[in-house]
Amino acid sequence: MPIQRQGLLASFAADARANVAVIFALTLPILLGVTGLVAEYGHSLSVQANNQRTADLAAYAGALAYSSGSSTVLMASAAKRVGELNGVAPANVAVDLVTSPRNSANKAVRAVITIDNPLFLAPILGVSNTVRVVTLSYAELGAGVSGCIIALDPTKTGVTLSGGTRITASTCAVSSNARIEVPCGTAITAQSVTYDTTVSQPCTGITASSITKATTSDPLAGNAAIAAARARFATLAGQSSPAAPLVPTPTGAFSIDFAYNDSSTKAQATAAGCSAAKSGSTWTLTCPQFSGAEYNFANLTFGGGINFSFNPSGDVGTTYNFSGPLTLQATTIFGPGYYSFGGTVRATSYGSTTFGAGTYNFAETFATGGSGTVTFGAGTFNLAKGMSTAGSVVTSFGAGTFNIGRSATTCNSSTFSLCNNSSGATTFAGPSTFRFQGGIANGGGSTLTMGSGTTNIFQVGPSGAGDAINVGGGSKTYLADATTFELGGNLWAPNGGGSCLVISAADQHDIRGNFNAAGAVVMGAGVYTIDGYFALGASGGGGSPCTGYTVSVKATNVTIVLSGSSVPASGSCANTAFCVAAGYSNIEITAPNSGSLAKLAVIGPAAITAGATFAEGGSGGKISGAFYFPVGAITMSGGAGVAGGTNCLQLIGSLISLSGGTTAASECIAPSGGGGARPRLVQ
């Protein structure tokens, strides 16, 4: 028997047919457990990936909310709302404001999503039926803070301070792609400071949440509104200045001498188809009025002390032609009509000369002088060879259309369409249309008013010297608001100290030349596209009485766009496209608050390295808007700064140099991509 039992056991052990089944039965629970763990782990990884994306979105949304209002309540609400939109219950999203893990000087919004993920297969092994999945994200505040003082060119000096300058830029960044120099006695207070080469602050003059070595891109590069504003220069190049008006050349055979020989004068008048009557020292010439009536005269002459009345009750449809020159010296009245003068007309009255409403054609120069008054009614005025005033005569025109060619006679060292040198006032009522071939000169001490209302049209070509408007010292020039404002030459007043220049408000001001002034300047609202430079006080001058109070420069709701195609050759404004120099303290330049160019005060050249400067005397400024000179330097001295309220001052140039006084800076224009100081995900 024992021998038999041994044989059976040995036989069973030697039989391998059941081994696989036994091993499989023994390992099956282990295989099922591993499979369950792998499946559960994979599912948890998928949940974690989805939750990470949601946490990133929640942190960023919370940071945006906090940046806009500094409210942790709004921050948490925004983050939880994003979680809910992505299938995560608000209770599973924790949001708090912490120190940034990237930069301890900055804050960050942390979003933590906690989910208990259910397990279905793993419990076979007797483990828990859930696993906790935790994801978190940080969105740093203050990263990508918008720059309000930016020096773009890495080859220049960057941002440099001197002379006790203090920059206050509490809500934005001071940035340089080169160095930043803050010597002792100067200071920068900013939300952040970035540089790309070195920072020099021997007396620790920088106060900022972070000082970082980094490059800064041009925030206005690609700005569509700026590109469109610069494209206007091509429009200017295609504009043509008005031509001299074409006027009829009258012929006439009848001459009348109004003197004290009554019978001779009456006979001459009868021969011309009219009648003459004398009362005291006044002659009255009357010509019959009927449809198509036309009267032709060669010359009218007047004896000493003779007053003259010409058809005072005439009709605007009656034509009067005068082929010879005409000189008016006493009290004279011309009734309404259609007048053509072939010779020079001089109204050098010591009484009054009055022309009725109508159409007036002058083939030669029209001149006024003396100490009396010269008055025209409303109408159309075509002067082929210019107009001039002298003496103390007061000259006024009714509203109308004024087409004036360039004079052949020199005035203010050049030839102009209008030369106003009277110490009396010259006034054109409005609204009117002014088409001048050869510019406007308002001499020293003279007063010129052009237009009234808001719908005037100014189309003014250059004088012989290239000036569309030339202003003398002590003069007063008032240009009414306009729908069209085109100057085909310089606005030139470098010797206009003590002058007052009021420029029309117009949506668009086109100036094919330079803007150079030395007196008080009031710039009406609108865009000024200047194909050259803008200089105030380049040769001296400064503020003076204007519009009821002392004005230096007052420009409200104004954007100035400069080509820099020409620049001053010498002086404190040399080689600059924009310059405010000697005597121009307390200037006011305010950019518009709305429209495509909102908050843009001055747009400098895109390719010409002509910058902006506030030189000696240009102190105490109230400037609101962005100065954008991507390839030109911006230099400020004397403490030019920003006005209060909602105004801003943003400086973007190839380099920024500030000296003297305090400059308050803030962002005006956000980068083209939208947004200003934006958060960024850092972990």
Condensed to tens digits (0 to 9), the pLDDT of residues 120-174 reads 665 666 666 777 878 989 988 755 567 899 999 999 999 999 988 888 888 889 9
Rounded distance between C-alpha atoms, residue 644 and residue 662, angstroms: 13
Check whether residue 271 and residue 346 sit in a common domain: yes
* Mean residue pLDDT across the chain: 87
**Mean pLDDT value across residues 289-296:** 91
Q: Which two tokens stand for residue 149?
A: 């003082």
Q: Is residue 184 part of a domain?
A: yes
77 and 111 together in one domain: yes
- Any domain includes 297: yes
Residue at which a domain ends, from 107, 140, 173: 140
- Give the domain-ending residue among 341, 362, 383: 362
- Is the domain of 113 the same as that of 133? yes
Domain end, chosen from 74, 107, 140, is at 140
CB atoms within 10 A of CB 89: 11
> Token match 């940071």: residue?
63
pLDDT (0 to 100) of residue 670: 76
Whether 603 is in a domain gets the answer: no
User: For residue 4, what pLDDT is reported?
Assistant: 47
679 lies in which domain range? 145-221+649-683
199-206, Cβ contacts within 8 angstroms, sequence gap of 24 or more = 205/161, 206/180, 206/182
Residue-wise pLDDT for 343-356, tens only, equals 999 998 778 999 99
Structure tokens at 260: 């004290």
Is residue 134 located within the same domain as residue 28? Answer: yes
Asked if 84 and 160 sit in the same domain, the reply is no
pLDDT digits (tens, 9 = 90+) for 535-563: 988 777 777 889 888 888 899 999 999 99
Of 254-263, 357-366, 659-668, the poorest mean pLDDT is in 659-668
Among 22-31, 98-107, 125-134, 613-622, name the most confident range. Answer: 98-107
**DSSP 8-state code for residue 144:** T
Are 259 and 311 in the same domain? Answer: yes
On whether both 92 and 28 belong to a single domain, the answer is yes
Q: Using one digit for the tens of pLDDT, what is the confidence trace for 190-227?
A: 988 999 999 999 999 999 988 988 888 899 998 999 99
Reference 223, options 546, 672, 627, 629; nearest CA is 672
Supply φ then ψ for residue 178, to 5 degrees.
Answer: -125, -125
pLDDT of residue 63: 86
Q: Is pLDDT at 617 greater than 60 in this prediction?
A: no
Calpha distance 528→274 (Å, rounded)? 54
pLDDT of residue 395: 97
Beta bridge partners of 427: 396, 449
The pLDDT confidence band at residue 336, using thresholds 50, 70 and 90, is very high
| One domain for residues 275 and 345 | yes
Report how many domains make up the chain: 3
Classify the C-alpha dihedral 120-124-130-131 as positive or negative.
Answer: negative
Task: Tell me if 329 is assigned to some domain.
Answer: yes
Q: Which two tokens stand for residue 177?
A: 């792609």
Question: Is there a single domain that holds both residue 203 and residue 288?
Answer: no
Residue 661 confidence (pLDDT) above 90:
no
Averaged over 103-123, what is the pLDDT? Answer: 77
Percentage of the residues of the chain whose pLDDT score is greater than 90: 60
What percent of the chain clears pLDDT 70, i.e. is strictly above it? 87
pLDDT for 516? 93
The letter for the amino acid at 57 is L
Whether 377 is in a domain gets the answer: no
Using alpha carbons only, give the angle 10, 27, 31 rounded to the nearest 5 degrees: 160
Tell me if 15 is assigned to some domain.
Answer: no
User: Does 51 lie in the same domain as 100?
Assistant: yes
The mean per-residue pLDDT over the stretch 309-334 comes to 92
The closest of 500, 480, 384 to 433, measured between CA atoms, is: 480
pLDDT band for 643, please (50, 70, 90 cuts): low
> What distance in Å separates the CA atoms of residue 567 and residue 579, rounded to the nearest whole number?
10
pLDDT band at 1 (very low <50, low <70, confident <90, very high): very low
Task: Say how far apart CA 524 and CA 516 lie, in whole Å.
Answer: 16
pLDDT, mean of residues 13-32:
54
Same domain, 126 and 158: no
